[in-house]
Amino acid sequence: MMRLEAKKMVATGDYTAAYGALLCDVDVVAAYPITPQTIIVEEFSNFVNNGITDAEFIMVESEHSAMSACIAAQASGARTFTATSSQGLALMHEMLFVASALRLPIVMPVVNRTLAAPIGIWCEHNDSMPQRDAGWIQMSCEDNQEVLDMIIMAYKIGERKDVLLPVMPCLDAFILSHTVEPVDAPSSDEVADFIGKYDPVATLDPNNPMAIGTFSPPEYIQELRYQTHVAMENAKKAIRETTKDFARKFGRDYYGLIEEYRCDDADVVLATVGTVTGTAREVVDELREKGKKVGLIKLRFYRPFPAEEIKKIAENVSAIGVYDRAISYGVGGPLFIETRNALYGLDLPVLNFLAGLGGRDVVKGDIEKMYEILLKAKKEKPEKEIYWIGTRGVSI
């Protein structure tokens, strides 16, 4: 590929994701269009057509085929990339499990979009979160800079020999995918130096034939499941180390699996995901000015889940809230379920706030409401665990 100098770009989240893949010198991209992801693979096709990279660009018939093509390419030793959203991710579901079980560190940004029915195109996390058990490292970005940095880190983390798992960086539909922000892009040399060459453990090679993913009796599968489980556990260490290395090299620190904001002396904290975090930071500052001791946890990773980090913070606060943009019907938001699981045994209220489903805006007032409920929960036992913020026909 052509050498790319470091530059400051003004770019959408989708362009940034494509540029991230370019910087990482991916070998194969398999693509199928779906709003609001389309621009990612389309921009990458421009890089190919303009001769900036010599990557192979494969146009396929569906997302299921896109993931299948990536799996085969990665298994033959290539570094691969694709992107999807919503229905496309749901259609890919079957192949996601194959990618992780074959230990192929494919990187695939998912632009979070609501999953039908009814059909919508706006932001909701009910596309990526149901992929929880597929064995993919899954994280959410707050802004376009994080999209770029996370794609670079995704290859570094996923390709580590103690991890070897595919990675799914998520970005909120339109709020990031189609919104222009300034982004600092490092040079391709710096990125190459940081992530190194993809050095697969085993590759499909006609000169040294082997079979992968073949029919396996019960004598083998359980150990493979265990190994993938250990790999996901190892990913925590890999993420912590990689964000540190990244900060040293590029000057931007993402603090491992979560980022704490004004949590040190906080009475109550709210854990948020995705772009809502940016709004929540402002609310925290405003409430702090009014003397309310509130803090914020930016939940970056869903898999592996930062249980230890959250528990450490929860030990020093009197109530914790979790914001979710998806719902596991009848139980609560996926992040809430995980958080409560992580905090099992601790005696403090863990509350769930659902807002912004189907792409509805989450505004400062919504987040103020969440903190208000948390501060109240500090004083008296809350009546319920799950709060539907800004929902017609539902009183809080």
Partner 1 sequence: MEIEGEHHPLDEYLRADRIPHIWCPGCGLGTVLNGFLHALEETDIDLKNLAIVSGIGCTGRIAGYINVDSYHTTHGRAIPFATGLKLANPKLKVVVISGDGDLFAIGGNHFIHAARRNIDMTVICVNNYNYGMTGGQLGPTTPLESKTTTTPYGNIEHPFNLCHVAHASGAVYVARWTALHARRMKDSIKEALNKKGFSFVEIIASCPTTYGRRNKMPTGLDTMKYYKEKSVIKHGIEPEKADIEIGGEIIVGKFVDIEKPTFNEEVEKLIRRFHK
Give the residue with the Cβ less far from partner 1, 171 or 195.
171
Query: What tokens does 373 get?
Result: 């409920």
Q: What angle do CA 251, 254, 368 make, to 5 degrees?
A: 125
- By CB under 8 A, tell whether 54 contacts partner 1: no
Identity (one letter) of the amino acid at 371? Y
Dihedral angle sign, alpha carbons of residues 21, 22, 27, 31: positive
Q: Which one among 52, 57, 120, 130 touches partner 1, defined by CB under 8 A? A: 57
Q: What angle do CA 143, 144, 148 make, to 5 degrees?
A: 125
Residues 6+ apart with CB under 8 A from 329: none
- By CB under 8 A, tell whether 35 contacts partner 1: yes
- By CB under 8 A, tell whether 91 contacts partner 1: yes
User: Between residue 141 and residue 170, which ones bind partner 1 under the rule CB under 8 A?
Assistant: none
- By CB under 8 A, tell whether 390 contacts partner 1: no
- Residue with the two structure tokens 């085929």: 65
Give the residue with the Cβ less far from partner 1, 88 or 306.
88
| 233 vs 353: CA distance, rounded Å | 28
Stretches 38-46, 101-109, 145-153, 324-332: which one binds partner 1 (CB under 8 A)? 38-46
The DSSP annotation for 211-223 comes to --S----HHHHHH
CB of 117: closest distance to partner 1 in angstroms?
8
CB of 330: closest distance to partner 1 in angstroms?
24
DSSP 3-state of 122: coil
Q: Which strand (E) or helix (H) includes residue 252?
A: none
CB of 189: closest distance to partner 1 in angstroms?
28
User: Between residue 58 and residue 87, which ones bind partner 1 under the rule CB under 8 A?
Assistant: 59, 61-62, 87
Q: Which one among 46, 76, 179, 187 touches partner 1, defined by CB under 8 A? A: 46
Q: Would you tell me which residues interact with partner 1 (CB under 8 A)?
A: 31-35, 38-39, 41-42, 45-46, 49, 57, 59, 61-62, 87-88, 91, 116, 119
